[in-house]
C-alpha cells in the first residue's frame, strides 16, 4: 500500500475538519476523493502533504511515518501535488517555472541564464507531454488558466513522484481540456504512477478513477469502484442529497 492514514483528526476553532479518517489508497491506481463541500477533502490533502499538522493520527507512505515531515521532505519522498488555485511563478517563463520546480538551480542562477542541459531536456519532455512545448518562452501569467494547470502538473512531474495528488484538476477549465487532463492521468497511471484526485466533476471522476473514496463530515463513509459508489445509499444521501 503506497499511502495509508490512520485516525487522522484536525479541528479548526472547535470545528472538526477531519474526523478520525482512516484511508487506504489502491497502489498503482487512479483513486478519486469526493464529497460535499466542507467534508474535509482539502484539509486531508494538506495533512498528507505536510501543509497542515493533524491533532492526532498518522500518515504512512510506503510504511514510513511521514505525519510530521515538512512539505519538502514529503515531496522528496515521492509525493507530488497540485492545488485548487495554480501555484506557479507568473513572471517567469514556462521553461523557467519547470526548472525552478526541481530546486537544484537557484532562481538567481536561472535568471542569469545558468541552466543544466539535462534538466532543460527533461523539462521540454514534460511540456511536450502536456502539449504546451510551444509556450516555453512565454511568461506563465500570459497562459490561459487551463494551460497554467497543465504547467503546474508538468512542474510537479519534474520531481518524478510515485504518487500524485491532484486538487480539482477540472476546476475552471473547458470540457476539451478536462478530457485531455483525464487522458493524461490515465497515461501517467499506465506508466506506473498512483493518483489521488479530489474533484467535483462526477463524470470525470467516474470515468477516470479505478477506486473512489467518499468523505462526509471529515471521514470516509464509502470506498470502492465507481459502479458501486454510484449505487451506495450512504453516498446518495450524503453527497447527492437523495
Provide the pLDDT confidence category of residue 111 given band limits of 50, 70 and 90.
low
Q: Is 112 exposed, middle or buried (0-12, 13-18, 19+ CB in 10 A)?
A: exposed
Q: How far is CA 205 from the centre of its chain?
A: 14
Residue percentage of the chain with pLDDT more than 70? 93
CA dihedral for 113, 114, 118, 123, sign (positive or negative): negative
What ranges do the domains of the chain cover?
1-78+161-242, 90-160
End-to-end CA distance of the chain: 34
Which tens digits make up the pLDDT trace of 117-136? 889 999 999 999 999 999 99
Which CATH superfamily groups domain 1-78+161-242? P-loop containing nucleotide triphosphate hydrolases (3.40.50.300)
pLDDT reported for residue 74: 94
Q: Is 46 exposed, middle or buried (0-12, 13-18, 19+ CB in 10 A)?
A: buried
Which tens digits make up the pLDDT trace of 32-85? 999 888 889 999 999 999 999 999 999 999 999 999 999 999 999 999 999 988
Q: Which of 98, 45, 34 is nearest to 74 (CA)?
A: 45
- Indicate the pTM of the whole model: 0.90
Decide which of 128 and 217 is more confident: 128
Amino acid at each position: 500500500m503506497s499511502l495509508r492514514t490512520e485516525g487522522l483528526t484536525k479541528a479548526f476553532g472547535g470545528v472538526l475538519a477531519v474526523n478520525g479518517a482512516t484511508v487506504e489508497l489502491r497502489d498503482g491506481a487512479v483513486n478519486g476523493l469526493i464529497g460535499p463541500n466542507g467534508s474535509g477533502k482539502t484539509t486531508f490533502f494538506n495533512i498528507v502533504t505536510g501543509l497542515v499538522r493533524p491533532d492526532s493520527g498518522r500518515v504512512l507512505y510506503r510504511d514510513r511515518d511521514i505525519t510530521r515531515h515538512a512539505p519538502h521532505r514529503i515531496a522528496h519522498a515521492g509525493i507530488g501535488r497540485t492545488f485548487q488555485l495554480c501555484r506557479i511563478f507568473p513572471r517567469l517563463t514556462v521553461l523557467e517555472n519547470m526548472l525552478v520546480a526541481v530546486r537544484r538551480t537557484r532562481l538567481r542562477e536561472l535568471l542569469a541564464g545558468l541552466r543544466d542541459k539535462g534538466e532543460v531536456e527533461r523539462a521540454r519532455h514534460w511540456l511536450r507531454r502536456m502539449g504546451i512545448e510551444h509556450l516555453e518562452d512565454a511568461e506563465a501569467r500570459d497562459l490561459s488558466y487551463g494551460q497554467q494547470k497543465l504547467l503546474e502538473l508538468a512542474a510537479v512531474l519534474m520531481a518524478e513522484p510515485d504518487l500524485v495528488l491532484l486538487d480539482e484538476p477540472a476546476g475552471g477549465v473547458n470540457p476539451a481540456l478536462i478530457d485531455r487532463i483525464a487522458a493524461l492521468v490515465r497515461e501517467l497511471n499506465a506508466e506506473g504512477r498512483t493518483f489521488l484526485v479530489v474533484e467535483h466533476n462526477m463524470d470525470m471522476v467516474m470515468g477516470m478513477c479505478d477506486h473512489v473514496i467518499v468523505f462526509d463530515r471529515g471521514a470516509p463513509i464509502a470506498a470502492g469502484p465507481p459502479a458501486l459508489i454510484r449505487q451506495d445509499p450512504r453516498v446518495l444521501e450524503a453527497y447527492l442529497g437523495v
